Amino acid sequence: MNIREFPNKIVTFLKEVLLELKKVNWPTRQETLRYTLIVIGISVVIAAFLGGLDVIFTTLLNKFVL
């Protein structure tokens, strides 16, 4: 690779990146908020479920094994 071609390759790459970014279908602000709240809600439900299992198994282990 010739060192003199390197700046031209960077410029070409960045131009292609900009062209691709224009093709992206960006979500609206409301869609982003909705999807974020869904992810947070599912995460809280799963955390509560796993926390409940942890409490149950800890109680069972303390009563019967230890």
Residue 37: inside a domain: yes
% of the chain exceeding 90 in pLDDT: 85
- For 4, the 3-state DSSP assignment is coil
Count the domains in the chain. Answer: 1
The residue segments making up the domain with residue 21 are 6-64
Looking at residue 1, its pLDDT comes to: 65
Looking at residue 37, its pLDDT comes to: 98
- Split at pLDDT 50, 70, 90, the class of 5 is confident
Mean pLDDT within 36-49:
98
Residue 22: inside a domain: yes
14-32 tens-digit pLDDT: 999 999 999 999 999 999 9
Maximal CA-CA distance, the chain = 74
Residue 42: inside a domain: yes
DSSP string, 8-60: HHHHHHHHHHHHHHHH--PPPHHHHHHHHHHHHHHHHHHHHHHHHHHHHHHHH
Residue 1: inside a domain: no
Q: Considering only residues 2 and 17, tell me which one the structure prediction assigns the higher pLDDT.
A: 17
